[in-house]
Structure 1
Amino acid sequence: MVLTGKSLFQRTHYEVLSVEEHASYDEIRTSYKTAILNSHPDKLHKKSDASTDHQRDFLDVQKAWEVLSDSMSRANYDKELQSMRQELEVPANEIELGDMSVESVGDFEELFYECRCGDYFSITWSELKEMGIILDKESVEVHSSTVSLPASVLIPCGSCSLKVRLTIDCSS
């Protein structure tokens, strides 16, 4: 889905260029060159009523390249895309850190919340740390400007398809 589009069902820039979201710069550039040639109005030999569709495709390819070719704009786009996907997913429940149980095995800390199927939703402290949220026994600290206050994370169940949204109030 394109975040800047009017419809939530439009293609992502990655889909426009037919590349995976983890594609390298070279893969994106190669795909862009192919897509721009295939959609360029001067290269299309057929005259049809769908010329506005070809123009739209050409402009979509240009916009995708503009965003994905620059590492900073790509990183921002990826964050927006991930955020949009999380907002679109409806969790089975919303929980807070206090609702979760903590299990410690050596230096390894894991947070658990029981699912109605009997299994657990779980997330490790190291996974939260990768998101810029550092947990302490007494406090929560944010060490990243990319984390908004309060932060939230969708956590899938270990067995079923349910997810919960863990809300972390970093100001407390």
Structure 2
Amino acid sequence: MLLKGDNSVRKTHYDVLAVNQDASYAEIRASYKAAILSSHPDKLLKVSEFQDKFLDVQKAWEVLSDSKARSNYDRELRASAPEVDVVADEVRLEEMSVETDNDLEELSYQCRCGDRYSVTSEELREMGFLLSKNGGVTSVEYTTADVAVSACVLLPCGSCSLRIKLVIDLQC
């Protein structure tokens, strides 16, 4: 994994030692030995070119060889990794089932895991959308002055990690 920082991309300690994040201590040690030999300034004619690489290898070994330091480093990596939304499907408002309980309407769509994606009329209202029933057809109006043709909302499944993109065509 590469980390972005200060308008540059830098390698992780795992990248420097060319090992996976789930590598064992023995794998890390073997990779460290090979990397340190190939970048050691005393063995190379062009010292200045490889000095940075040598220092990176040393730092990577320092962190990854200590179980506590590695655990902290892994936690920092997870925290700095960008979150990726996996969108399982794109669903239009008309495709969702509508159930009414008193004044609250719940729109839902079946996930492939068997559970459902759902959103209530109250949640949509908090996002700036108003549901209205016109002859049995549910439509949405945008509550602010900004006029848009359509909008999208990501809805998580109740059980699994999948999400759908709910496409809402707005009434003008």
Q: Find the structure with the greater CA-based Rg.
A: 2
TM class by shorter chain equals 0.3 to 0.5
> Which structure: greater strand fraction?
2
TM-score, length basis structure 2:
0.47
